[in-house]
Structure 1
Amino acid sequence: MSRYTLITGASAGLGREFSIQCAGLGMNIIMIALPASNTVSLAENLMLEFGIKIEVFEFDMTDSILLVEKLNYIAENFEINFLINNAGIGGTVAITESPLTAIDRILQVNIRSMVLITQILLPGLLKQDRGYIMNISSMAAFTPIAYKTVYPASKAFISSFALGLREELSDTCVSVSVVYPGPIMTNSGVSARIMEQGIKGRMGLLSTSAIAEIALKKTLVGKALIIPGFWNRINHRIMGLLPVETKLKIVSKAVKKEMAIK
């Protein structure tokens, strides 16, 4: 039976780049993405170009019943040896002004769905000669941030979950890695906000292709913590020396300024 790499959020941004690069490495892929996200077209192009197999599942992962149903089907019908938990959402808004549905959606996608996917697919991964799990966290995981409160907390959860799971699976065939990207120009709105922050905002900026390449290379050699980009690694070391209260004020001030610009 053919082995597959499963990628969530596979049709856009970093997930799209993972799909392209995994295809380029000769991996068969299972792409999970939202409906009407042009995933089938991307899959057809990749299959034609690289001669691989791709299965596409388009559905909303916040529908937990549907998510479990789809995952059980995948677990029963495909051999997964690489899981890339990439899907994630965020937002910048005062907590009192955020709709409850928006907060719940972040929790559902970033935390609940990621845990369910991992737990359901893990038994199959453990049957492989070698298996890999890559969780996409964020540099935001390293400090609380005002006006983003839920997002960095969810990314800290992803980091903690991945590292705890790595230790739990240390005597098995499955290696778990967690990636902490810095700013990514995933769409025009995000790109504009990054550019408006000047050199400070652009310092840790990497393309999606560069982030995906680094993440894949280091995950496949079993590295635990992956921080793509020299300046992001320097920033992490510097911020690690500061008290939490200081980091919180520095980063939150930048976010508040960003909100004022909008």
Structure 2
Amino acid sequence: MPHNTYTLITGASSGLGKEFAIQCARKGHNIILIALPGGNLQSIAHNLELEYQVSVKVFEFDLSNSEILKSRLSVITAQYAIDFLINNAGVGGTSSITDTSLERIDDIIMLNVRSTVLLTHLLIPHLLRHKQSYIMNIASMAAFTPIAYKTVYPASKAFISSFFLGLKEELASTGLSVSVIYPGPIMTNSHTSRRIISQGLKGKMGLLPTPEIARIALKGTLAGYPVIIPGLMNKINHALMQLLPLSLKMKIVSREVKKEIPFALSV
């Protein structure tokens, strides 16, 4: 990538987003990090600049606020040439639908769906200015199956999958390549770790270290692959689940997910 362009990463203060920032910096990419305030982004940026000698810019705001998003993105695109967008920010949770607040449902839809589409739509004209550019989108293995006790989250990830694969086809004649990543379980913090462990061996099947997921996702995206499922076990699991009737598949997955409820945060 040209040295004067930037990779924009959302949800960059922790977990997979932070790892994308590290690995992109290691590859020599200049980076724009976006996350909510209070995520220690300035410290992350400072360390990346010192270690990898790249330019790292920080913007802290709520992506789900569309007016702020449009305003901040206007400032960003006026100053920096972006040739790689990594849509990583997202939120989920586990609870029965009757125990899930309307605010939590709205949070998931606004961040996972609305802000992701809006951000992408606003950036596409800027990405198309480059001979070669990329969009990476983090979906989930949950996108492949409706799941009880999560309901809204897998639906949002199924939307991401459908929207961006359709966009991939629409942009096929351009230099803008679109990829969708379908990670399995990720132990990004103590909360998600407890939920994964609660499912026992089945919950840990397909579990990969966060750096490895980021490495596979970046390699596949830069190679132009539209669909990327990190990890052999996740690929095998996806292939096997495709053979099952939908009703049976939903029962199997939902039964395991239900075990997470005692370990879920208040929603």
TM-score, structure 1 length as denominator? 0.98
Q: CA deviation at 1:77?
A: 1.7
Q: In structure 1, how many angstroms separate the alpha carbons of the residues matched to 2:32 and 2:201?
A: 38
1:60-99 alignment to 2 at 5 Å?
A: 60-99=62-101
- Matched AA of 2:13: S
2:23 aligned to which of 17, 21, 24: 21
In the alignment, what sits opposite 2:168? 166
Q: 1:120 aligns with which of 119, 122, 128?
A: 122
What letter is aligned with 1:191? S
Contact kept in structure 2, 1:75 and 1:120, CA below 8 Å: no
Residue 71 of structure 1 aligns to a residue whose secondary structure is helix
Which digits, 9 at most, give the CA deviation of each residue in 1:6-62, with x for residues without a partner? 000011110000000000000000000010100010000000100000110001112
- Local SS of the residue matching 1:5: strand
Does structure 2 retain, via aligned residues, the 8 Å contact 1:82–1:131? Answer: yes
Q: Return the letter of the residue paired with 1:25.
A: K
Equivalent-residue separation in structure 2 for 1:86 and 1:215 (angstroms): 11
> How many residue pairs align between the two structures?
262
Q: 2:246 aligns with which of 244, 247, 250?
A: 244
Any residues of structure 2 matched to 1:161-240 within 5 Å, and which? 161-240=163-242
5+ unaligned residues in a row in structure 1: which ranges?
none
1:196 Cα offset (Å): 2.6
Instruction: Give, as a single letter, the amino acid of the residue that structure 1 aligns with 2:27.
Output: L
Paired amino acid for 2:227: L
Contact 2:94/2:260, CA 8 A, preserved across alignment: no
Aligned to 1:109: 111
Sequence identity (%): 61
Counterpart code for 1:253: R
* CA positional deviation for 1:261: 6.4
Which of 39, 42, 66 lines up with 1:40 in the alignment?
42
Equivalent position of 2:4 in the other structure: 2
Using structure 2 for the length normalisation, give the TM-score: 0.96
**Cα separation, 2, equivalents of 1:243 and 1:70:** 46
TM-aligned CA deviation for residue 258 of structure 1: 2.5
Aligned partner of 2:193: which letter?
A: S
Give the RMSD, CA atoms, in angstroms: 1.1
CA deviations on 1:193-242 (whole Å, 9 max, x unpaired) are 21232221111000110000000001001001000000000000000111
CA contact (8 A) 2:19 2:210 kept: yes
Distance 1:22 1:250, change over 3 A: same
Deviation (angstroms), 1:2: 1.5
Distance (whole Å) between structure 2 residues aligned to residue 91 and residue 197 of structure 1: 15
Q: How far apart are residue 68 of structure 1 and its match?
A: 0.8
Which position in structure 2 is the counterpart of 1:141? 143
